[in-house]
Amino acid sequence: MLDNNINIKTHNPVDNNNASKPTHKPVQVAPLDVADPARVTRTPKQDFGSQSGQNQLNYNPDSVFEKFIKSLGNSPVLSEGAKKLLLNKQFINSNIKSDSVLKSLFETFLKSIEMDETEILNFLKFQHGSYTKFQGDFFNSLRSLLKSNPDNNDFKIVLRNFLKSYDCFVSVDETNKSINAALKNIERNLPDMLKSSFRELTDKLLNNYSSNGTDINLNLLKNEILPFVGRYISKMNDFGPVRDYVSVLIHNMVRLENASRDNFSENLDNLFEFVRYNFSLDEEDMQKLKMSLIDTYETASSKKNDSVDSFLKLIDSGIKESKNLVNKGTMEDMAESLLFSQDVHIPLTHMFLPLNFNNMFMFSEIWIGKEFEISEKDKKSKQTYVQTYKVFITFDIQNVGYFETTLVLKESRLSLDIYVPNCLTGSIETIKNDLNNILSKDNLSASSLNVNESIRKRRFNEVFSNLSERKSGVDVTI
């Protein structure tokens, strides 16, 4: 047995003075230790408070509004693409005329924009009249009732339900097209082994958009197609394009469900009953209101414009069918610009005018905004709000140049700011006199009239600078 008493002797004597001194251990820092925020320099991009003027805790970089703000400066400009189509001969000869898909469509488009003064006016009226679905005598009557009863919340609820169902009811064809497009995109992004099974389900959908056909399609979408895709997403954790297209599909399914005849009839009856008993309309007035709805619906269904149709068809064919990458990119930019102008955060009326007037090509864009401002007359005493209109017009004329006009109308006071190309700077006084003569013929006078040289092109959001202001709600013009 070994002795457990082990004694270790050392020949190094222990110094009491050294033993009393504190030992300094080196501080070890973990390689992934959290940095002190106070010692980190914040980059300008992280200073979110300057973007909205709101509490920084409310900032959400993924919000729809913040993405809209970024798009204001990055979205394509419609006039740039249209300028290539109408004013750039090199682009036309090198790309459009050599494109088998676009050549004939482009020739049809050029013929359709040969207009005189009356046709120009009708072209703009068509765009303004079809800007929303809620146009015509019927909706003007509803607007009058709403203005005369601004505090009637019950009427607002009834009217809101009717407008929602009307919007879905008259858009059934477009909703079904969107559903079919979403299903095709889902199938395209599914694994090959699931495509045949998914196609078997979608082939059951009926092309008959009647009331019975809509019910059958909705039942199939909700009980078979959507669960099939849902199981795939949950098992495969596919959070890519498939889930995005499913979101679009669900949105259109809700619209299709709200578009049923029963839902529309119920909301229409509720509206008529409410108007009859709360606003004391007699039978004759109610009959006029009903007939105006029929006339409005029929007029909206039959409204067409060859120039607009040929322009949109040219863009659509260029995106879907053209093999020329330059043409495809130009058409995609113009389509994106047209869609962006309809954003719910842009409470402006947007119109465009491609034109061949007396063998001179030009392209114009018009932005119209209206808002309520405090009246100048009662600014010191009682605050009265008056409607103010602001119009921003741009037009590019062949062999002349680029023009801009900003028009503001407030309480019968008109102000004009006009920017002309360099070639016309020597005629500024003549332009002013001619404008004053034109205004006087219509019994108008400008409180302010400025004509200057156009130095650079402005975007619409530079003129309507309040678009970037954060609001608690969305301003939608109906």
* pLDDT per position as a tens digit, 334-352: 999 999 998 888 889 999 9
d(CA 81, CA 85): 7
**pLDDT in the model for residue 319:** 93
**Segment among 80-84, 93-97, 126-130 with least mean pLDDT:** 126-130
CB under 8 Å to 374, separation ≥6 — which residues?
Answer: 383, 384, 385, 386
Q: How long a stretch of residues is the chain?
A: 478
Q: Taking 70 as the threshold, does the pLDDT of residue 281 lie above it?
A: yes
d(CA 413, CA 60): 41
d(CA 212, CA 219): 11
Please, what is the angle between helix 261-278 and helix 153-169, to 10°?
150
Please give the model's pTM, rounded to 2 decimal places: 0.72
Residue 238's Cβ-count burial label (10 Å; 0-12, 13-18, 19+) is middle
Q: Taking 90 as the threshold, does the pLDDT of residue 66 lie above it?
A: no
What SS3 class is residue 393?
A: strand
Task: Count the helices and strands in the chain (H runs, E runs).
Answer: 20, 6
Q: Taking 50 as the threshold, does the pLDDT of residue 51 lie above it?
A: no
Q: Taking 50 as the threshold, does the pLDDT of residue 30 lie above it?
A: no
Which amino acid is present at 435?
Answer: L
* pLDDT per position as a tens digit, 141-185: 999 999 888 889 999 999 999 999 999 998 888 899 999 999 999
d(CA 331, CA 315): 5
What is the per-residue DSSP string for 249-297? HHHHHHHHHHT-HHHHHHHHHHHHHHHHHHTT--HHHHHHHHHHHHHHH
What is the per-residue DSSP string for 430-448? HHHHHHHHHHHHTT--EEE
- Provide the pLDDT confidence category of residue 272 given band limits of 50, 70 and 90: very high
* pLDDT per position as a tens digit, 311-338: 999 999 999 999 999 999 999 999 999 9
* pLDDT per position as a tens digit, 211-268: 677 888 899 999 999 999 999 988 888 778 898 899 999 999 999 999 888 899 999 9
